[in-house]
Structure 1
Amino acid sequence: MRRSLVTLVLASGAALGLLQAPALAAEGTVTVFETEAHPLSVYENPRGCHKLPAAAHVLTNATNGPVRVHGDPFCLGPAFVVAPGHGSHVVAGSGSFSA
């Protein structure tokens, strides 16, 4: 009984650690281009998960840290990393990014 309780506590702590947002926000901006008809979407000092605009086309990372681009709107699925000072094409639809 005691062993299973310890295992449960450790597993719960690990799960909570995976769900926590970073302690510090990335400094800088993430900018998303959609089309010539839309204004740029600019995220100042982004922290946590942000759903990409519906027509997102290009994401630029002008922060001091990596930005992860996810295929789902909740930042739960696999991601690719956009390094600071770089950009990437993104697929329009239901993606998201986290910093």
Structure 2
Amino acid sequence: MTTKSVTASEAAPPSMTGQLVIFEHELAPLTSFNDPNRCNNAPPLAHLIVNLTDDDIVLYADDRCAVPLVTVKPGYGSHVAPGQSFSAG
């Protein structure tokens, strides 16, 4: 039986880089998440999400990243509703 030792960099998936930007309304500054690699809740007044990362972002119908709704490819955006969450694809 042969075994192979695995380093931490081989075991863990590469982390996402870039920004995920959320537009709420015309009187609020943009909200940005740098290198979003975990489950995040959209701001309460979230309206649009723009994926400027190098990986897919999954939008969820709930606030716990349990019910996947849509995948947003890098360079694309989507409408988002209050109460939704998102994570790296």
Q: TM-score range by the shorter chain?
A: 0.7 to 0.9
- Counterpart AA for 1:88: S
How far is the alpha carbon of 1:23 from its aligned partner?
3.4
* C-alpha RMSD of the superposition: 1.2
Runs of at least 4 residues off by over 2 Å: 22-25
Higher helix share: 1
> Which ranges in structure 2 are unaligned for 5 or more consecutive residues?
1-11
The equivalent of 1:26 in structure 2 is 16
How far is the alpha carbon of 1:86 from its aligned partner?
0.4
Cα shift readout 1:39-88 (whole Å, capped 9, x = no counterpart): 11100111110000011000000111000000111101122100001011
Q: How many pairs align?
A: 77
Percent identity between the two aligned chains: 35
Residue 30 of structure 1 contacts residue 60 of structure 1 at CA under 8 Å; is this kept in 2?
A: yes
1:95 and 2:84 matched: yes
Larger radius of gyration: 1
Q: Could you tell me the TM-score, scaled by structure 2's length?
A: 0.81
Q: Could you tell me the TM-score, scaled by structure 1's length?
A: 0.73
Pairing 1:1-99 to 2, within 5 Å after superposition: 23-91=13-81, 93-99=82-88
Equivalent-residue separation in structure 2 for 1:88 and 1:62 (angstroms): 12
Equivalent-residue separation in structure 2 for 1:25 and 1:31 (angstroms): 18
> Which ranges in structure 1 are unaligned for 5 or more consecutive residues?
1-21
